[in-house]
Chains A and B, each alone.
Chain A
Amino acid sequence: MSSGREKNNITAEILVVEDSQVQAEALKHILEENGYAVSLAYNGMEGVEKLENFSFSLIISDIIMPVMDGYEFCLKVKSDERHRDIPVMLLTELSEPEDIIKGLQCGADNFLTKPYSDENLLNRIKHLMINCRLRKNGSGELAVGIFFRGKNYIINSDKQQILDLLISVFETAIEKNRELIISSESQQTLIEMLTAKNDELARSYAELEEIRNTLEERVRARTADRDKQITRHLMTIETLRLSDDKYRMLTERMTDILWTIDNNLNLTYISPSVEKILGFTPEERMLQTIDDMLTPESSALVQRILKDEFEQEQRGADPDRIIAPELSLYHKNGTVRIFENSIIFIRDREGKPAGFQGMSRDITEHKEMAKLLRDREERFKSILEALNDWVWEVDCNGRYTYSSPRGSSLLGYDPDEIIGKTPFDLMPPDEAVRVGAIFGGIAAEGRPFNGLENSNIRKNGEIIVLETSGSPFFSEKGELLGYRGVDRDITKRKEYEKIIEKSTLREGSLNRISEVFLTVQDESVYKDVLSIILDISGSREGFFGYIDDKGALVVPTLLGEIMKECMVENKTFIFPPDTWGKSIWGRAIREKKTFISNTPLSGLPDNHIKIHNNIVVPVISREKVIGIINLSNCESEYTDETVTLIEDIILFISPIMNARIERDRKETERQQYEDELLKHQLHLEELVTARTGELMNERDRINAIISSVPDGIIVTDMQQSVILMNHSAEELLGICFQSVQNQPISIVIHEETLREKLKHIIDRLKTEYEFDFTLHKDHNGSERTMHGKTSVIIDRDDKKQGTVTILSDVTNIREIDRMKTEFISTAAHELRTPLTSIQGFSEILLTRENLDENEQKKYLSYINRQAVKLAKIVGDLLDIARIESGKGFTISRENCSLEKLFSDVVPYFENLGLKQRFEVRLPGKPVSFFADISLMEQVLKNLLSNAIKYSPGGGIIKISGDEDNGFVKISVEDQGIGMTTEQSSKIFEKFYRADASDSAPEGTGLGMTIVKYIVETHGGKIWIESVYGDGTKVFFTIPLEEFSIC
């Protein structure tokens, strides 16, 4: 492919290696416009890579580049056989000959200094191509194209020559251009240098003019002078012909050479000044021919002049005419001197030419000076022509008085057309107004100015942008005479700047946006990106949103004046698809395309901001619209360029944004999970706290319960160490738990029975064990019966953890047990005693037939009496059973009379024929109270039975009753055995009998319990006053009125 391309050389492929993107683009632009195909590489390394894939016709390379510079790159190209023949042109901003040498050393074929003109560049390229072909054809050793003063020279020379030539050419060129070249690096320096140059030029012009004027004046003055002199000479010759010596003396002092020749051009006289002027003595001179004296050109000229003059003589010309040729004469030292001559004919008396008389003046210095001036003028001219800048001068009215040729080429007008115009005549009207205003100010103060940009219209109508700098110049009196300055064509630069600006804007924007995406993690990224895009597009308002999972447009923020004008809160707006309506952005999302409008939008709600122009660009990722950017109210209007730029940026944004949305979605999900997790965690913590609280409460409660349990609790582990004792246990055992914690029971517990029982259960590993033991209390020496119940603590895993022992003081329980046993025994006895009689006598009555009637009656009466006794006992037992079960008695209250109560009960006892006497005491007035009469009788009978039972020695039993403070108070007093204090305190306990021995009076021990219950049920009280051995007095009260328990 590459070889094919090479042969078919109509469009040559050029590789441009240039690190400056701007310069590379500019170069590419120029080359492409001129029909070349161009590839770009941004450094030498890239260039080498490009070469690997394609064979180029020409390489243009910059020198200073990163990675691999131009020299190294060139050397690489030239040292590779495949590429050796590709001409390499080095572009350099450097201006030292050494750089060029370096370039040639590395094998470069050509070099071009920056800045270069397009024309120059293109010519170079053309020649390089030709040279390259020549070289290939072997038609020359080396053909080098030199472009100089608008002409191309092809030089086939050896390298040394080229080098010499190039260096010399460049030395001059560089010398001249160095300031300009260097100044191209800095606009300011360039302007200053140009201004300086301009001033210098102006000065040179002025100087030149002056010199010219002076010269002309001098020539004029000299001519007049000389005419006079010649006349005078002639006269003198005429008059002083005879006084030769005097004449000679005169002429010898002259600085000019006076001479005469005859018609055959033989010297007839030469003034002595010749020696001073030309080195020859007059004598030597006299021997010389005209050819010896004059250069061949001058000699020929003289021949021609003379011939001409003789011809004129024939035609009758002015006989006194002066011939004034300029002739070159040899000095004795071999140099050529130029002489100005005034020559007249010498005529004889007849007026015929007899020879010539002349005066020669050495004007070599003048000539040289003039030539110098001419050269200088020429040089300035060439500089001006070579300069890209247009040098001009305007008068104080702003009219051009001078315009360098460049002005014509820039503006397309002939110089004549420019002179007399003002710069403003060349500008579009509004530009003229603008620049006029600026320049007016500058000119008013007579200030110099730099870099004033202005647009001008070329003759062909094209717009050219110039950058103008100028300095004022003044008259000797200080009046402003005008401005001199330079204009530079910056149209291209402007275009490049625009391209660069656009590309910089794009790259800058992308960089800013990238930075935003990189640094902003939350949704304010949309706001930040939008603000950049608003800035780029020159839009006043806009919004930027994304499409969420549900397809709704989420706009984290609206920007610009929207908030203020619509008076809405700045918050995230969510627009579900059904709210999009006919909005342009809705359409843009649905249709996935960009909408531009440069006309005001109509049909907006009243409170909506006015939309003068609008762009909506959807953000599309993987063919899905993921967001939208809406820009409104551009200062001017939205151009295609803006749209392209925005779309370009959006294209750049979309994958990042997609990733961002995806990330945000995942983040939200993760956040949700985390929130949920946190919620769960909090809930758990709450539960734990609550549970812990509950447990603490529970524990506290259990602790409280345990410590307040009247039973002692001892907990041990399986190693028989005490791990817990409650307060009761501490009290019971007289041990402080704190001091014995975790100590073995064998040390802690002194109570032998308890200790052995505890050890026993742990050793045997029985699950439960109950035992009684006696505790000897120290303080009053009383014994307590303790009950221990030990259980093994078994945890959830069925593992034995230790033991818990509950110690209860069962002294009272055991006492009751004992009393119960005794009661059973007593009750059995009491029941059996009447039963013995009943059974025995009934059997006798049944089995004995020989019993008489009296006997039968007596036995039946025994049976009856014992049956009644039995019924009483059974009644008591039933009563106590009722009390015990909580059922109590059914009380049916009625009005009772104290007298009646006594009279119903007491006589029964009186009739029993007992040892005791009964005494009833009643108040003077009748006393009635509200109670169950049969229960009252039971109470009184009981008390009387006891009084009789416990006064075996007989005596008086007093029964008293009276009203006492709302109660009826009844007492029964005996003179019997009495009771100890202890007995008195236990009298109302169940089964208690003051004397429980077999020799004690009969009784079940239930009577007083029943009595107490009956009295209290009626709302009364019962109490005892007794002295051991000295009788007992029992009191009880019953309310007079119905007692309400409630």
Chain B
Amino acid sequence: MKKILITDDQLEVRELVEVTLRVDDYTIFQASSGEEAVRIAETEKPDLILMDVMMPGGIDGFEATRRIKSNPELKNCHIVILSAKGQQIDRERGRAAGADDYFVKPFSPLELITKVEEIMG
């Protein structure tokens, strides 16, 4: 069963993503900060990480992405930035940080499922 890590400081968003993805069989982990996301990613080695950007606590989504991607064990981990920031500069910053995809909030749950299924293949 594929592992998906949901990273967002907002409870509602984590809940929404999990409910959205519940239609398929995935093992879902949740992290509420960048730091937590990095930690869980290192231990659980998820196949997909849905990463928020703006999170309090010193490590934002881009930094967390950079850290995870800089870990050779986690380089196959697919990271999709799921951010309210949708400007081109944000997308570039995500790519620069090593993110594989960029998904802008608010999103349609159906679209997210489609996207995740496409990634998980």
Contacts and interface: CB of A to CB of B under 8 A. Distances in A.
Nearest to B54: A998
A837 B12 contact: yes
Contact of A840 (B20, B63, B104): B20
Contact of B56 (A839, A855, A866, A1000): A1000
Contacts of B55: 998-999
Contacts of A952: 56-57
Contacts of B61: 998
A999 B16 CA distance: 21
Interface in A817-852: 825, 828-833, 835-841, 843-844, 847-848
A862 B60 contact: no
Interface residues of B, number: 33
B85 A999 contact: no
A814 to B, nearest CB: 17
Contacts of A858: 15
Contacts of B53: 998
B64 to A, nearest CB: 10
Contacts of B16: 836-837, 840-841, 844, 862
A844 B10 CA distance: 18
Interface in B50-90: 53-63, 83-87, 90
A836 B6 CA distance: 15
Interface residues of A, number: 31
B43 interface: no
A835 B13 CA distance: 10
B57 A999 contact: yes
Contacts of A832: 84, 86, 104-106
Contact of B109 (A829, A847, A866): A847
A997 interface: yes
A436 interface: no
A865 interface: yes
Contacts of A429: none
B108 A833 contact: no
A65 to B, nearest CB: 130
Contacts of B56: 952, 999-1002
A836 B19 contact: no
The A interface is mostly helix, strand or loop, or mixed, namely helix
Nearest to B17: A840
B110 interface: yes
B106 A836 contact: yes
Contacts of A998: 53-55, 60-62, 85
Q: Which of B12, B16, B53, B109 has the most CB of A within 10 A?
A: B12
Interface in A317-368: none
B112 to A, nearest CB: 8
Nearest to A862: B12
Contact of A997 (B12, B60, B104): B60
A830 B106 CA distance: 11
Nearest to B55: A999
B97 to A, nearest CB: 11
Contacts of A843: 108-110
A835 B105 contact: yes
A860 to B, nearest CB: 12
Interface of A: 825, 828-833, 835-841, 843-844, 847-848, 855, 858-859, 862, 865-866, 952, 997-1002
Q: List the 10 closest A-B pairs by CB distance, nearest first.
A: A832-B84, A998-B60, A836-B106, A836-B105, A829-B84, A839-B106, A840-B16, A837-B12, A835-B106, A999-B60
30 contacts: A825-B87, A825-B90, A828-B86, A829-B83, A832-B86, A832-B104, A833-B10, A833-B13, A833-B105, A835-B106, A836-B105, A837-B106, A839-B107, A840-B20, A840-B107, A840-B109, A841-B16, A844-B16, A847-B109, A848-B19, A858-B15, A859-B19, A952-B56, A997-B60, A998-B54, A998-B60, A998-B61, A998-B85, A999-B55, A999-B59
